[in-house]
Structure 1
Amino acid sequence: MSDFDLSDLDLDELKKLHKETAAAIQNYEARRRQEALAAAEAAAKSAGFSLKDLIGASVGKPTKSINPPKYRNPDDQTQTWSGRGRQPQWIKDALAANKSLDDFLIGK
């Protein structure tokens, strides 16, 4: 690598160099990650497995857990609520009409 004096660069040139260097580092790390993943998949395949079989989870993005519905609207069966987070309007209306949450439980 050639050495050069950074003190000879003005602010715009330094910022440009910084931006290009950060992008180059990010690309390098992404390539290395892909190479490691490919090597791991090849090693698993040579042993007769998939990488997913060996690690017991999905490779890549983690999945978000979903809370099952706990309450159902008797007037519209497609409307459900897990009991977590903000109450849907149909629950608010029912509670205002002096109904109980127990009236909407799924699998009473």
Structure 2
Amino acid sequence: MAINLDSLSPAELQSLIKTAEAQMESARKNQVQQVRTRIDALLKGAGLSIDDVYPRRGGKGAKGTKASVAPKYRNPENAAQTWSGRGKRPLWFSAALKKKGVTAESLLIAGSASKSAVAKKVATKATRKVARKAPARKSAKK
């Protein structure tokens, strides 16, 4: 069935396009159904399920599932507000640090991290800063 497209009016061409698109959609659905039937027959013959062949994501240990982290800091004004120390700082944490005499270490929850470990971490950072800022010494030549 050859159609001479040059002889068709714009309205007839539009109608032909819509008919062809509908036919394409029908043929596609029919093709998908035939493939599914063949796959189901293969799986049944092998004694398998689609989940055996293609495991689904979201199971144990899959990406996207995040384990909860124990809180590390607590708001002294509202004990219900805690923060794990990961991600963006909560507003209450930033506001508390602006107060005189309040440090991140003072907001730690007892038992979440030993204060000596935090002190070592702070001391190490300070030592690294001093080492970076120290000017390189030039050897004296005579």
Task: Give the alignment partner of residue 94 of structure 1, picking from 89, 92, 95.
Answer: 92
Percent same amino acid among aligned pairs?
A: 18
Aligned to 1:68: 66
1:36 corresponds to 2:27: no
The structure with the largest alpha-carbon Rg is: 2
Moved more, 24-33 or 41-50: 24-33
**TM-score normalised over the length of structure 1:** 0.55
Q: Which runs of 5+ in 2 are unaligned?
A: 75-79, 98-102, 114-142
Aligned length, in residue pairs: 90
Shift of 1:7: 1.4
Aligned to 1:26: 25
Listed as ranges, the matches of 1:52-67 within 5 Å are 52-53=51-52, 55-58=53-56, 65-67=63-65
Q: Which one has more relative contact order, counting CA pairs under 8 Å at least 6 apart? A: 1
Contact 1:44 1:50 in 2 (8 A): yes
Code of the aligned partner of 1:31: N
Structure 2 Cα separation of the partners of residues 45 and 21 of structure 1: 36
Shift of 1:70: 5.1
Distance 1:76 1:67, change over 3 A: farther
Structure 2 counterpart SS, 1:12: helix
Q: Which runs of 5+ in 1 are unaligned?
A: none
Q: Return structure 1 stretches of 4+ with deviation > 6 angstroms.
A: none
